[in-house]
Structure 1
Amino acid sequence: MDSPTAAEFPPVESYQRQVDDIASKTDVLEKRVNEVTRFFDGKKHGSGGRKAGGSSRYATNGARDCKGTPDLTRQLGGIIRQITSHEWADPFLQPVDVVGLQLDDYHKIITKPMDFSTIQNKMEGKDGTKYNNVREIYSDVRLVFDNAMTYNDENHDVHIMAKLLLEKFEDKWLQLLPKVENEERKKEEPNDVPTTNNTTPEATVGKLAKDTDDELNELYNQLDELRRMVVQRCRKMTTDEKRKLGAGLCHLSPEDLSKALELVAQDNPSFQTSAEEVELDMDAQSETTLWRLKYFVREALERQANLAASGKAEESAKRKRDDIYNALAKTASKRVKK
């Protein structure tokens, strides 16, 4: 198969933005995982976890109802006002000034711009547009911050501000989510079937866990595709690099070595990883396989080194504690003899 030309690849900066975007989404998903974990840990200890249910303390002025449930729309509007009142919200209140800021590549990277003034207009039904439900509003609020984190480097002020505000918004949304799901369920049930006013915490957290799992799987797919594209850009590995790679494989733990051989088998279905002795011909492997192995071996060896260093540090600390205890014991013994 012919190697792709440089023109067929996006610039390196594009890869960096994709990585930053995935990292930011991972941070949000990690918070959700922690939420689910805390809930079920609470159930194990009999506390029932954090009480589910949205808060009704938010202000209700400032946003007319969308086509969804008025109460939910007002509550979400209150959450949005809290977020937009934050001192870091200014860059997200109006559409990005692409011309004034000379962001020539903005629309190439951001295919669906979004800002809070656009969200507000749509919530109020201006320009003939209107949200059908609060989930659509939620998606657009996320889009505001996702766009900012995608376009700006993770060390950029705007990226940092967007990440913090998104985390605050997600926390508020989790409080409102049980009511949202309860209203959705009531709409789906037949009119002659009695409905309950409150959903169970278990059902809400279960739905959150499933949605989080689906999003994590999507992120894994994005990472695999991104890894494949990056590997294809790699140059041809030299003979010396292949030799060092082979030496690195020999220093892997049995578990990591098995994973490394599985990487080889992915591109070589006939490769037998279960044999007692495995012979790996580096020259027979594709460049993609070689570079994937190189990245994997490097990370595995670094991980092993960190574990070893941690073990040595603990052993050193233990020896110091023992020395201190022995010294104290000797001092106490001398005092007794006196």
Structure 2
Amino acid sequence: MEGVDASNLDLENVVPRVNDAEADGFRCSVDELVMKVDKLEQSVNEVEKFYLNTSIKQPNTSKNTSSGKHKVKDRHVPGFKKLQQEASRREAAAAKRMQELMRQFGTILRQITQHKWAWPFMQPVDVEGLGLHDYYEIIDRPMDFSTIKNQMEAMDGAGYKHVREICADVRLVFKNAMKYNDEQSDVHLMANTLLEKFEEKWLQLLPKVNEEEKRREEEEAEAQLSMQLALEAAHAKMARDLCNELYEVDTHVEELRETVVRRCRFGCMTDIQMKISIEEKRNLGIALTKLSPDGLSKALEIVAQNNPLFPASAEEVELDIDAQSELTLWRLKFFIKDTLEVGGKSASKCDTSNSANVAATSPNISAASKRKREICDALVKNAKKRNKKPSK
């Protein structure tokens, strides 16, 4: 088969020309894309990290939500601002209920402090006045009822937050006295007696304390679940937005690439010069038949870049040169020109050898050569049909 002169493709007049202003515009567009991609990458990492942590914690929370998991999926997910408002109201209500429990505990405390044996425990121990030089060696944390009362009445946030804290300090008053004084001493006996009376009264209030603690635990679990669902909804929305933004970036990159290709390849050409003539299309079709199997596959990939539906990797393809866009045809022309200039002669020899093998029906013919021959035959037929049409 005869070779094809690359000069017939008429590419010599195509001179890349991009002025400085256009180059600066391209650079700015690229910089903007890079910055946007960096931000998108940070968002993607944040989403991945969130779902990774969620998947790790899921086994621990599944037992709390497994019985109502279908309800969880359908429940309304409030926004973060509403969650914060609900948390504030919940904390205020819980604090009010705790204050009521402390008030009831104050009644118990008054009953204990009004006992005739309570006087040794009303004020801090006078260590120096009583000459108790080893008191601080034995007692780590002194406590008395006046200190407890001051703590209960504190309004600067330094007071008790939970009724159990008061209970613990009341017990500490009596245990300190029993620890420092001998079992046979009056103070030890008085402390032990008052401690027993206190425990009896505390048992009456304890069910209410347990109920409040259970309620707060359930409310906290519900709040955590709501926050988790809100976070999942927020990250799901972020993931959807990322998909849309990534698609926009990809589209922008493709548009920018097409613009650069057009300006670099055809910057100095007029619209008339850019339009490929019928004769050039015919030469292009013939030139395609001269490519090696590998070169032909690459040419078909070029066609597929602007035509995703084109079956470039199929066993048999039908390539209609007239149906291709101007940009695709120009890309094919540049590719064929470069390919024929570098390896046109060797490609011709290889093609001739393959034709001889086909004529001899050799069983060693490669699949690539067979596919190339079929495509070349189809292109030649199309070219012959166009040659028969009368020129206008």
- TMscore range, shorter length: 0.3 to 0.5
- The one of the two structures with greater contact order (alpha-carbon pairs below 8 A, sep at least 6) is 2
TM-score relative to the length of structure 1: 0.36
